[in-house]
Amino acid sequence: MKTTCSVAALCALIGLGAAASPSLQAQSRSDRDRDRVCVYEHAGYGGWEQCIAVGDNLKDLGNRRNQISSVRVYGRAEITLFEHPNFQGQQVVLGENISDFRELKRWNDQVDSLRVATASFRSRPRPGQRAEERVCVYQHAEYRGNSQCFDANEDMPDLKQIGWNDGISSIRVFGRTRLAVFEHSDFQGERLIVESDIPNLAAVNARGGWNWNDRISSLRAGGARGDRGRD
């Protein structure tokens, strides 16, 4: 009887482990895929979509060569585009959404291979974001979802103009930049000074009793920390 019970218990544990394994694998994949890049056939994120996780390389796009016209960047990822297969020819590094590759002059429908890596904001310059002093805002907590970066000394009086009004849930600060965010457009309402990364704005309370998650409508990216002249 004891032997039978022991075998039954062992089988139950094995069965439980097998049942739990797929969900654990799914969770691992979810964590891995949180930082990723998606490329699109047409401008404006139209046509076919292909998403690539951090650490994945495509040395030959095959029948999708010379067909990429826009890109979306999620989390802390960046993509390197290459002119030819096997990572050859001219290259460009992108760390933010580009809705139309015609903004990059020669890169529309000109990509044959690519690499996706964890963003290294202080390494190579990227089109439109060349300064090391910058801040990046994210759609979701923990630097996930769509992102938008601002150089030091850049003002945005109305985030609605670029589709980010009341849509920021986390912030990263690079270099010695300091950021002032405001509850309302035109730098009105409650103000929050940001000098370091904030992974979740829901944990940052305002004087009115509410928190800063999805409550930012304008912002100012200042220069070096300690310079309060722009606030």
pTM of the model: 0.48
Tell me, yes or no, if the two domains 36-118 and 134-224 fold the same way: yes
DSSP string, 44-62: TTEEEEEEEETT-EES--G
Per DSSP, the three-state class of 38 is: strand
pLDDT digits (tens, 9 = 90+) for 27-76: 344 444 478 999 999 999 999 999 999 889 999 999 999 999 999 988 87
pLDDT digits (tens, 9 = 90+) for 185-222: 999 999 999 999 999 999 999 988 899 999 999 999 98
Going from N- to C-terminal start, the domains of the chain cover 36-118, 134-224
**Class (C level, CATH) for 36-118:** mainly beta
**Contact call for residues 149 and 135 (beta carbons, < 8 A):** yes
**Contact call for residues 146 and 72 (beta carbons, < 8 A):** yes
The CATH architecture to which 134-224 belongs is Sandwich (2.60)
Q: For residue 137, how many C-alpha atoms fall within 13 Å in the half-sphere facing its CB?
A: 30
